[in-house]
Structure 1
Amino acid sequence: MAHAQLLVFLIPMALFLKLAMPVDGAMAMPGCPDKCGNVAIPYPFGIGENCSATNLNSYFNLMCNDTFHPPRPQIREPEAHIEVTGISLERGEMRVLSPVNHICFTSNTTSTKSSGVGYDLSRTPFLPSPSRNRFTVIGCNTLGLITGYRGASGQYVTGCYSYCEGINSTSDGAPCAGMGCCEASIPANLTAFAVTFDLNHSKVWTFNPCFYSVVAEVGWYNFKKQDLVGHLGFIKERAQNGVPIVADWAIRNGSCPKKGEKEPSSYACVSANSYCTAVINSPGYLCNCSQGYGGNPYLSDGCQDIDECEMRKLDPKYEELYPCRKGVCQNTPGSYICKCKKGKKSDGTGYGCQPADSPDYRMVVGLSVSAIVVTAMACMLIMQLQRRRHKKEKIEYFKQNGGLRLYDEMISRQVDTIRILTEREIKRATENYNEDRVLGSGGHGMVYRGTLDDNKEVAIKKSRVINDDCREEFVNEIIILSQINHRNIVRLLGCCLDVDVLMLVYEFAHNGTLSEFLHGTDHRSPIPLDLRLKIATQAAEALAYLHSSTSRTILHGDVKSANILMDDQYNAKVADFGASTLKSMDESEFILFVQGTMGYLDPESFTSHQLTERSDVYSFGVVLLELLTRKKALYTNDFNKNESLSYRFLSMFRQNKHQAMLDPEIVDGSNVVAIEKLTKVVVQCMSPRGDDRPTMKEVAERLQMLRKLQMQATCDGENDRDVHDNFGGSPSVILHFDEMTDSSIETTKDEMISYRYQPIQMGYHLVPFPIINGPHESPFRT
């Protein structure tokens, strides 16, 4: 096997001619030959050490063998001289001729002649091009192999098998797919390789005595049946001088400097107007002239300006490559310009001219101007119409959302504390209704946490349902809240009515709802009885204020723990008046409207479809029961079934077993009396008949006294007897209420036995509601 340090690469002569450009610049070192025979030798290649870049690699020094006519350039190699047939600076390619590896047989097992071809390219600037070459095997029943090394990554082996039963089983021009010949790709960075045969006998030697394997340029070989016949017939007829191989060459001992870095002393791109390009096949780089320049970038001042205008004169094909239609071409450094003569102007491409003032041009200009004017007027008209439509929509929304009614109330001085906000202010406060700002749902509204322009934190309720009932409820809530001034009722700060979706702006409660406070699963902590009484008292005072301290009676209609908010000091604030209804003090008619939540609904209102002040009392009794038991109004019992808290507690109360349902956190010796009296309030509030229930004012007074006595008992450590005496010693209404409560509890126990309970279907569970059998006198009537 010949040991040669060589590269392979092809540049067809037609391609060289195509890339040639008429530039004034040498391709070889000054005073050095630039050709050997018919082959151009550009620097860094050269003939002799002084004419080549031997400082970069000694293999750039070629020899010109003048024993041939014409002379032939060859790579200097001690063991073999490899002929060079072409070199390209721009593509970094070289085309050489390589011997053919072959083996011939004179019998089944006797080979008369064999030869191997191999190259070690590790110290050369050359590597076989993986895209321009193929490993090719020619013969019948033969396996050819190519082995070698891919840089430092390890050994490489591949090959292909060619088969045929006879000469006539093949055909001329057939692709090398395994019948008579085969092909295989080669990898990149193949620094050493050899082509061999893995066989020592032949069954086809009678008609195919010799097998051949080569690395050859893609497209060079076309199969012929004659290649299989005769002793070395293929070499004699088609490859006496070898087969062409295309090699990639590059400056291997360096790389392109990074931007801003100083160029090393061995940097090969020495010409002005040149640049460095990294190569793909193994490490290294190539140099190229910048766009608009041609020549040799490896020589000082080797890249010269291309005169595109002169090239247009030399060959018509350059007129398309460098167009200048109906203009005057003028060369510039690195480019050219196409100047227009007098009376002409640029055609818009930069590479052509046209008449400056033709009739067609004037027509186009006129039509263009007219089109622009018409378009502008149409846009202005559309914008004006959109503004009017938007303004009209806002007016319609204002009317639909009760703006006129609110305005009438403001004129009558019933609404003078409400701020009217625009949709833009609402969007800014909620970050365009960001989902991360959603606090929850209330009634028919989605509630967002917002920040107004003055950095005030607020809660913004946005209606989810767009219908007349929903609009009426929101306006109703505005009017109601605007009349209310109570520390335990959430304050309405403003509203937005000029959108299709109604919005209200409230003060913000930092500690969420009472329902979350009692039943939240995260970090459930004990709640002392004092705090529970405080919350109950404040909520009762708020509802009592709504019922009796305003100019007109206000029914909440949806009292529940989720509608009682908690501020940062755990003060209760009653909220969500979406179901509220105003009732004149002198009106006797009932309001035929019930909107509440299952578990809190007054059973009397549910069956009669009538809403009264005592309906709020019943619902508040369920809230008190939640405070006592810390269970939800509809909770899951020990049998994993949903059950009504009010129904279950009253049933246990009749059996005197209700203590089992109380929250263990508050059941201790010091709280027994207060809890029992609070239980009596709960039972009275949840009496089946509305007339048997106390008013919210009475409930509030009762809770106020309970709270004071509980605080006094906690501070002074009084015994249960003293607490009982002090609680019952006042001649006020509270004493009457207490006595009546104590005396009526037993009656309530007995009479509740006669009540029937009717199960009401609620989807996946049944909730019983009591139905009254007969009339009962209220214990609060005098």
Structure 2
Amino acid sequence: MACVTQSLLQCFLYLTLISLLLPTPLVASTFPTSLPGCPDKCGDITIPYPFGTLPGCYREGFNLTCNNSTTPPKLILGKNIEVLDINIATAEAQVLNYIGYDCYKNQTNDVDNYNYPSLRIKALKPFLFSHRRNKFTVIGCYASAFISAYQANGRNYSSGCFSFCDSLSGTTGDGGSCNGLGCCQTSIPQGLNYYEVQWSSGPNDAWSFNPCKYAMLVQEDWYNFSVQDLQGFEFYETNMKMVPIVLDWAIRENVTCLGAHVESSVSSACQSKYSGCDNSTNGEGYICKCLEGYEGNPYIPNGCTDMDECKFPDKYPCHGNCKNTEGSYECSCKEGTHGNATIGNCTKDPQKFPYPARVAIASILGVAVLLGFCFLVVWYQQHRRHMKEKEKYNRYYEMMDNHLRVFSKTQIENATDNYSDAHVLGRGGQGNVYKGLLENNHVVAIKKSKEVEEAQRGEFVNEIILLSQINHKNIVRLLGCCLEVNIPMLVYEFVPNGSLFDFLHRKGSRKSISMGTRLKIALDSAVALDHLHSSISHSIIHGDVKSANILLDANYTAKVSDFGASSVVPVNEIVELVHFSHGYLDPECLYTQIITKNSDVYSFGVVMLELITRKGAVYTDENGEKQPLSTSFLSKARKNEHHEMFDVEIANEESVMEILDEISEIGLKCLSPKGDDRPTMRQVVEELQKLVRLHNNLPGQKIDEEETECLPGETSFSSMSNASGFNSTQYSAVLEIITGAPR
């Protein structure tokens, strides 16, 4: 790659970058910024208290270093974080950090040069990355990158995005938004104190015109996309390897802001007489502020001084006579007029009370009568609409009575003790699930979904009718519903042993699981999905296959559940993407925004890997970092090291290892990047049936056998093409992971 070697040119570019990043003040400050006798500048950068560079000049945690060995001097936070600006009013600091890059020397995976920048500010307690001002940004064609981070509350976080373009003319264009064509952006949550950039490996089909991809956490309003950023290494060199990011800072001393005052005034950082405080919007703590009508530095005595509002008509409008007062201002209409000068509503004073005023009063009364009549008309129309809605409900109930039981609102409330938290079985993005006890002491699971609009209610009823006709031992059965309220509620059979996710991963109740039981769960789940895909008149795409949505009964028979994301379509049709859980996400449907049966196959492949590794779809590796199971297993398989990831409870015999290898092969084919290269669920069932029979022939490892008929009419699994290999996905994705069980 090309590098600028002339020292004078480097200096010039660096000074240019600094001058562009530094904000231009509107007016000169007339109030004190630092403590008496303390330096208030480092080069051209102002150092306001609570920051400082000398002992006694800063509050604990706000110490900076002024490096005078450079020209101009650099203001340093921590060991080597360069500070560009500090804003007292917004409690923000603008700093520099490195750009991540991934450069290719040809169209294959041959990487010419790359880096994985990171920034840790955990030891700098007052500081957190601003979730309002920064965006994780990826620049390039066929560029996929991720950001892994830690939050101050100890949780891990990961996200990322994908940028696609097949030519320079196929981008969003100069100055365009980062919408995935040439560049993409995603927000970050609050509370982050560490992040690092990770690249998704794969061939670079745009190598000829875009050899380098970039990823960075950057101040959102600083970056504007340019097509030139995709060419060569110019973006990295022009910006001297670094871009600005914004840090939120606050007084984080286990006290809060009550009203406008700090909880404990003994060590309050708000020292000015005319100062108050606000609780931090990013992490714990508070920030000080000058009261309304004052400006300056609230962290030092007498730091907040009266503001002359009359000098700022854009912020404090006055269309008359403006007079500054202590902490405020007065705005009055000019002589001979009256009204509200603040909004420019000043009219001439009347000479006398006019006769037409009495006419106006009568007119007002007439208008009041007219409004009353209009109110009655509106009330009547609403009453008629209510009666029509009641008729619709009656028709819906007549439809439902022919297929499944219809519950009343009162019955649901009695069964759940009025939706008591003690009855909650789980909470998710589609609603809450409660354990209910009916009048006949029959235990059921009641799902209270989010609100459905009236326009969708008819479609919702039709879908319930279709789902009620599914009667399969491996699918949680829908028993009834309630449409009496705006929030629809569904009543399912109760499955006592919880979810497969809890069975595999919940630390508090971890149990030994045999190879036979795992095979049985895999086969049960595959049979259920195949039934949804091909064994009924209308194909059902589940849309959210994951271990948390596979329930286990008392005999550990698997039952697929949670059709909140399901779509009912005619056979062989496709539907728009609704939602997916991270770790199970089909990369192809992220790019196309369309889900198919192949999307369920991909997610089931992840579930199979969970069964043989006993690791979550997103798990914590030996380095304490969050990793997607599909990517990690794929990487190990390329090196023929995937045996290391098998669960040690079952990977103890050569005969079992053969079965594990077969399951691995099925799972990896299910995870093929292209949906057309994946097997159907019918083919997966056939292969799992073979493995069950193989396992049953092993001495001492027989599982409870159930009759499973062969499923005809599909091409054998072994004939599926393996040409796709293990290349990483090439599709747009915006992912968000919060530590904990998948939703």
TM over 0.5: no
Larger radius of gyration: 1
TM superposition score normalised by structure 2: 0.44
TM superposition score normalised by structure 1: 0.42
